[in-house]
Structure 1
Amino acid sequence: MSDTKKFPGIPLFDSALHFTRLSKHQQFSSVSPDVEAFVTDLAITNALDDYRHTKAFLTSYSRKSTETYDKFRGDAERLLLWAWLIQKKSVAELRRQDLEDFIDFVMKPPADWVAETTHRRFLDKDGLRLPNPLWRPFRKIASGSGRLNNKSLQGLYSNLSVYFQYLMEEDYALGNPVSVVKKNCKYLIDNAAIKKPKRLSELQWQTLLDTSERLAISDPIHERTLFIIASLKSLKLRISELSNRERWTPVMNHFWRDHEGNWWFKAFGKGNKERDVSISSDYLNYLERYRQALGLLGLPSPDDDSLLIPALNGRSGLRSRQIRNLVEIAFSVAVNQLTEEGFLEDARELKAATTHWLRHTGASMEVAANRPLQHVQADLGHGSIRTTDELYVDSDNRERALTASKHKI
């Protein structure tokens, strides 16, 4: 198990919740002494300056959203740890060849840099935030390794380019070699293939729903998981739109009824945009069932500002990682069910699925049921109906396939 192997580094930056508590001029957190000790003990010239500039970079981007902070933190942190522990260099000294070596590294990270699953970066103990010894910079994925897929690699290049541009503007880095390295990257695939949304089949979705309901019946604690899964699929939500995060805490009265008796859910999505998602009558049964499990009666009233998905202690709402972990447990149970019933290919596909597939599944099934595309677009929060069409209908490719089918050999 790679989780138990000795990793020479530690996580450098805490979650957005803790990171944003630091003042702009506070380099290290007083409750994370191990991070300061790790950086100051490195035999790397300018390691402290590397950390200071990266912290300032992340502070700048943490103002946008938690998701933006998480995105840049992960890639900047990996680069820092690699530069210090593998190359024995400051990031300010990295050049084109170094970046090419770094890409080779992330495409095949060593076992002691890869965890079997996601672990918290820091653990609370006696008022301190201590590095979790199980945390690793990479996590195993469906392929059985920590290597990045094409989309993640594209994102890495984009994030590193923004990072180096920031360092240049601060007169810390001499240049930005990312674009040249990306241009010559042997791992990137120029994909002009038709993009199909990653979604669950009818069998996979029904198995997931059925097993989640059985879990809830066997133990009421799983009523929360059933509600989350029903919400992600039926309301076509991103996980972040159900989670407690900076500037947004989902509460019960985000469900609201208009004067005609229609129910809606107020979501706070990408780009800090609010939208109202339409709700089916069938979904209301799951909402009412979930509220009953929480000891609440009926559907939400306008003055019900209780937490939508509270932690077990009831004092805070669940964050994205916690919600994702709950859904992944239900996915695993459904995979086992499909395997036992002999649907081996469906089980393998579901094992590789992510929670975001539920959003795609909900949208795809509604389009297949001939719901007006503009209504699906509004619920998804897409800025353009073209985006929805390309993802779930792709009328241009349908016409292309139709015209091709008429030609004879």
Structure 2
Amino acid sequence: MEAVQAWLAEFHDSPQTLRNYRKEAERLLLWALLERGKPLSSLTREDCLLYEAFLNDPQPRERWCGTKAPRFSPRWRPFMGPLSPASRQMAMLIINSLLSYLVKAGYLAGNPLALARRRTRGHQPLQQVERFLEHDQWQALLAAVEALPRDSERDLQHYARTKYLVALLYLLGPRVSEVAEHTMGSFRRVRERWWWQVIGKGRKEARVPVNQDLLNALSEYRRFYGLPPLPAPDESTPLVMNLKGTAGIGDNMIYRIIKSLVIQAAARLEADDPHQAEKLRRASTHWFRHTSITHQADAGIDLRHLQRNARHARLDTTGLYLHAEEKEWHEAMERHRLKE
């Protein structure tokens, strides 16, 4: 199908993602044809629910499951067995992405998966991450950083620290306690790539990629204090220092720095958009973690990578940060008008 091939072509620069997405598309197309006797364009909400159940137990087993074999071998099968809950969740998210693309391409009139009722235990309130900064609010905040005074040595110290702290919170998405507790030695270079080695919630160890923007911010901050541009292995310098550069700062100081900044940023928005300004004034340090994850999702970062960056144990937690379908839903309602 040309439309599916066009969707897959979007991932040509990420071979692993392409393989995973092609696999899930093939599985769905084969199931639709062999089990439901219909093309992808005819799948209904009921079909989507049946397919989700099928992933839990692909039957008849002799048709669908087998040991690993070359793609064109008679022994090849789409599955090796039932999918785990996490794999089923990932499969349905990938399929939802495919169906949403096909709607945009005009191949489907609607996305049947978007209508599927999510089974829950008892009443569940609507969940959506809302404590994040919109892109316009984020730009106002960056402008507020650059507007900080730089007249005295203390002003320069405050500007350097704030600029670096904002980059750190946005590009890594850490919890504030993690910023306060870690040192520069938590940045590690492995095979010419930099990572942030973090001990996070529940004392779980993880690592997050450090991109070039953060490396630049880190180097600029370190040079300001006369340090080499990049950290040494196991360096004990605090991740964020006090103004004199003699000790680290705690959660409370980080909160105060950020709270002061968002109030200044909100003032920049007040005249043109008081609603956005009011939301920005409510922001706290933890909003930066939500903002980081949300903006990564908006940038199209692969969901598997997004889950690892956020260090979420469950993929459905990461899914709360995906707002693209909500945007499409709202835009679709613009076709429902008072006057023809």
Residues 1:338 and 2:275 are matched in the alignment: no
Task: Give the percent of matched residue pairs that are identical in Structure 1 and Structure 2.
Answer: 31
Match of 1:236 among 141, 152, 173: 173
Structure 2 residue aligned with 1:310: 241
1:379 positional shift: 1.2
- CA–CA distance in structure 2, aligned partners of residues 262 and 241 of structure 1: 21
- CA–CA distance in structure 1, aligned partners of residues 328 and 136 of structure 2: 28
* One-letter code aligned to 1:255: F
- CA–CA distance in structure 2, aligned partners of residues 216 and 306 of structure 1: 26
Match of 1:357 among 271, 287, 303: 287
Label 1:401 to 1:346 Cα distance change in 2 as closer, same or farther (>3 A): closer
- Residues 25-71 of structure 1 show CA distances to partners (whole Å, capped at 9, x for unaligned) of xxxxxxxxxxxxxxxxxxxxxxxxxxxxxxxxxxxxxxxxxxxxxxx
Aligned ranges for residues 228-267 of structure 1 at < 5 Å?
A: 228-244=165-181, 250-259=182-191, 261-267=192-198
Structure 2 residue aligned with 1:320: 251
Contact 2:132 2:290 in 1 (8 A): yes
Match of 1:193 among 109, 126, 138: 126
1:347 positional shift: 1.0
* One-letter code aligned to 1:224: R
Match of 1:373 among 299, 303, 321: 303
Structure 1 residue aligned with 2:200: 269
Label 1:286 to 1:313 Cα distance change in 2 as closer, same or farther (>3 A): closer
Residues 1:225 and 2:188 are matched in the alignment: no
RMSD: 3.0
- Residues 328-351 of structure 1 show CA distances to partners (whole Å, capped at 9, x for unaligned) of 111111112222x53322211101
- CA–CA distance in structure 2, aligned partners of residues 342 and 402 of structure 1: 23
Label 1:331 to 1:323 Cα distance change in 2 as closer, same or farther (>3 A): same
Contact 2:222 2:229 in 1 (8 A): yes
After the TM superposition, list the runs of 4 or more consecutive aligned residues in structure 1 that deviate by more than 4 angstroms.
397-407
Label 1:303 to 1:197 Cα distance change in 2 as closer, same or farther (>3 A): same
- CA–CA distance in structure 2, aligned partners of residues 358 and 389 of structure 1: 18
State the aligned residue count.
212
- CA–CA distance in structure 2, aligned partners of residues 332 and 324 of structure 1: 12
Contact 2:241 2:247 in 1 (8 A): yes
Contact 2:140 2:268 in 1 (8 A): yes
* One-letter code aligned to 1:342: D
- CA–CA distance in structure 2, aligned partners of residues 312 and 403 of structure 1: 50
Contact 1:253 1:304 in 2 (8 A): yes
* One-letter code aligned to 1:253: G
Contact 2:129 2:290 in 1 (8 A): no
* One-letter code aligned to 1:308: L
- CA–CA distance in structure 2, aligned partners of residues 203 and 404 of structure 1: 23
- CA–CA distance in structure 2, aligned partners of residues 324 and 286 of structure 1: 20
Match of 1:212, SS state, is: helix
* One-letter code aligned to 2:301: R
Match of 1:206 among 127, 135, 139: 139
Label 1:266 to 1:337 Cα distance change in 2 as closer, same or farther (>3 A): same
Label 1:400 to 1:207 Cα distance change in 2 as closer, same or farther (>3 A): closer
- CA–CA distance in structure 2, aligned partners of residues 205 and 404 of structure 1: 27
Label 1:291 to 1:401 Cα distance change in 2 as closer, same or farther (>3 A): same
Label 1:398 to 1:283 Cα distance change in 2 as closer, same or farther (>3 A): same
- CA–CA distance in structure 2, aligned partners of residues 233 and 199 of structure 1: 11
1:399 positional shift: 10
Label 1:338 to 1:406 Cα distance change in 2 as closer, same or farther (>3 A): closer
Structure 1 residue aligned with 2:112: none
Structure 1 residue aligned with 2:42: none
**5+ residue gaps in structure 1?**
1-189, 245-249
Label 1:322 to 1:338 Cα distance change in 2 as closer, same or farther (>3 A): same
- Residues 203-256 of structure 1 show CA distances to partners (whole Å, capped at 9, x for unaligned) of 111111121133274521221122111111110111111013xxxxx1112111
* One-letter code aligned to 2:179: L
Match of 2:148, SS state, is: helix
Structure 2 residue aligned with 1:51: none
**5+ residue gaps in structure 2?**
1-122
Structure 2 residue aligned with 1:13: none
- CA–CA distance in structure 2, aligned partners of residues 221 and 315 of structure 1: 12
Contact 1:241 1:269 in 2 (8 A): yes
